[in-house]
Chain A
Amino acid sequence: MSEVRCLSAQEFVQAESVSEGAILQGRDLQRVLWMLRGLQKELARKEKFWAATNDNLASAYRTLEERSDELRKTREALVQLNQSLEQRVAAQVDEIVQRARQIEALNLQLQQKVHERSRELAMALRRLSENRRARALGPGDVFAERARVRRVLGQGGMGTVYLCDDLLTGQPIAVKLMHQGLGSDSAVLHRFFGEATAASAISHPGVVKTLHVDVTSDGQVYQIMEYVDGIDLATRAQQAALSMPACARIGATLAAALAAAHQKGVVHRDLKPGNVLLTRGGPGVRILDFGISKVLGDEDGVLSMTRTSQLMGTPQYMSPEQVRDASSVTAASDVYSLGVMLFELICGRPPFVGESLGAICAAHLYEPPPSLQALYPQVPEPLSIAVMLCLEKSPALRPTAAELACVLSALADAMAAPSAESFFSTSAPPPVLAHLATLAQ
């Protein structure tokens, strides 16, 4: 039997092993008991603490897993979406490229066909014009199954203008029959139809409207315009001088019509009193033949000198840039021509006169215009300033047609000028002015 040995609580706690006969008793036993209970309590508290934190950790881990899973799925969806988008974009780009190629091919085919047809047309017209001589139309003649001729209205460098009755509407119309030979040049034809189309787009009461442009079966180019009962400004000014208010009002109406044309990109290029009509009805002033002069030149609108004298009339109204290079004609050139017309209306003579074409052209280029106020002191200063600005050598210094219309309209209103249609008639002429001069032919 092993020896019984009483251990103290301290010895019991510190011992690595306890011999068989060792005992605890009394206070030591009680102490060890409390120690064990204390440890038990502490262990239980720690267990609860770790359970709570582990629980939280597990929950956080689950949330992390769920979020990772969500993130992975979102990433996969984004990759798929990206791939799908790339495929769609590539497909659309391919389609666009294909379509563009198709359009390009169709365009080339179309251009070829137009070119061939133009050539065929020009050849047909040339043959016809070689085989036929143009004959003048007389009263009662039916033209192009569209118009019955009443009488000749006028003749000029480009052709003859007839007053006709429209067989479709019964209304009076003006038909301009171009000179034979114009239709034989395909380039001229092309430009003619292009310009006529552009001019017909101008919608302003101050512009004589082109109703139709075509070629007859026997190759004659013709233009149908609205018939305007009027008198050209050159003839009217010869009959009786126009007052300052009248000049301002006519100038304002002309400028407004020009502004409308310029807004459509159409430049007249040959503005002169012969191309302006004073009419009975509103607005009282109408401009003829927009863009036609471009047709008569080459691609850049340059006319040969021989044709110039025949077809364009006098150079008194040409701008400096037009004299220098016809291809540089712009809307500002029309404003210059209008300025020359107004100068002439006010004081009875154009700003530049000369014995030869060359002298007049040189004056436009190099000489300053004479002072309107000096030539005609009664002219109101604002009107004089407006006209002289139009005659600036540099196009950039001239007012636009729209600006000029505003200024002249205000001046006309200030001078209590009546509307322009009142100037059509000379039945109540203003007082004769001492320095009245005839307008240039």
Chain B
Amino acid sequence: MAKQDIELLGVFLQSLAAACVNLQIVAQEQAATILSTQPQCWYPAAHYIDFLQTLSKRYAHFEPIKERIGAEMMRLWYQHGPGQQIIHRGVDFLRYQTSSEGYHSVVRGPAKDIGAFSLEEIDEAAGRARVRSTSPFDRTMEKGILLGGMSLTQDLIYVDVDNSVDPSLFLIEFH
């Protein structure tokens, strides 16, 4: 990934660091650098990548933890960020991913480098949706973001995200 061209919004990095601290994966002082970022400033994606790489070396099984971090990040984005102004129902989070709107609100850079995270299809009545990712970021964490994002308003009683067939294609079931 050409990480030097990709930038992330400060609030996204802060939510990542805060999620790790809240889940007691790292101590506060270890995340201090990222926690000190300004929420409305843009920072190189290297901050995010280096931080995750450091964490991954400490855990033999890091996948479940990444998924949980993604979910916790959305909770913090909702409680302390702009989430409450945007999302009122769990399905709203999915619709917010239309044309990668949600993704582009926290990630910027050359289009060929940042890719997309976009809602392809949704059937509210059937409780099904499909999101495709061409981003350079981790798929397990993106799965966690979807799970967490849809559970923010607690109006959905069932949410499941499956990308076991194609890691870049998230099949979502919700009720």
Contact = CB atoms under 8 A, between A and B. Distances in A.
Interface of A: 31, 34-35, 37-38, 41, 45-46, 48-49, 51-53, 55-56, 59
B59 A35 contact: no
A403 B107 CA distance: 88
Contact of A49 (B64, B156, B159): B64
Counting from the closest, the 10 A-B pairs by CB-CB distance are A38-B158, A48-B64, A34-B158, A34-B175, A52-B61, A35-B157, A52-B64, A49-B68, A49-B64, A56-B59
A45 B159 contact: no
Given A45-B68, A46-B68, A52-B64, 9 more contacts: A34-B175, A35-B157, A41-B159, A49-B67, A49-B68, A52-B59, A52-B65, A53-B24, A53-B25
Interface string B57-82: 01111111101100000000000000
A20 to B, nearest CB: 26
B157 A38 contact: yes
A51 B157 CA distance: 25
A51 B61 contact: yes
B158 A35 contact: yes
A53 to B, nearest CB: 7
B124 interface: no
Contacts of B157: 31, 34-35, 38
Contact of A41 (B62, B64, B160): B160
A51 B64 contact: yes
Contacts, number: 51
Contacts of B60: 52, 55-56, 59
Contacts of B64: 45, 48-49, 51-52
Contacts of A34: 157-158, 175
Contacts of B67: 45, 48-49
Main secondary structure of the interface of A (DSSP, over half): helix
Nearest to B143: A45
Nearest to B151: A42
Nearest to B68: A49
For chain B, the bracket of interface size reads: 20 to 34
Contacts of A38: 156-160, 175
A51 B24 CA distance: 14
A56 B58 contact: yes
Contacts of B160: 38, 41
Given A34-B175, A45-B67, A45-B68, A55 B158 contact: no
Interface in B69-107: none
Nearest to B65: A52
Contacts of B23: 49, 53
Interface string B131-175: 000000000000000010000000011111000000000000001
Interface string B1-38: 00000000000000000000001110000000000000
B127 to A, nearest CB: 9
B65 A53 contact: yes
Nearest to B24: A53
26 contacts: A31-B157, A35-B158, A37-B158, A38-B156, A38-B157, A38-B160, A41-B160, A45-B64, A45-B147, A46-B68, A48-B67, A49-B23, A49-B68, A51-B61, A51-B64, A52-B60, A52-B63, A52-B65, A53-B23, A53-B25, A53-B65, A55-B61, A56-B58, A56-B59, A56-B60, A59-B60
A49 B160 CA distance: 16
A45 B24 CA distance: 17
A149 to B, nearest CB: 103
Nearest to B64: A48
Contacts of A56: 58-61
Residue among A35, A46, A53, A55 having the largest count of chain B Cβ atoms under 10 Å: A53
Interface string B99-137: 000000000000000000000000000000000000000
Contacts of B24: 53
Nearest to A31: B157
A53 B66 CA distance: 11
Contacts of A55: 59-61
A55 B61 CA distance: 8
Interface in B37-71: 58-65, 67-68
A35 B174 CA distance: 11
B128 to A, nearest CB: 13
B150 to A, nearest CB: 11
Contacts of A41: 158-160
A49 B64 CA distance: 5
Contacts of B63: 52
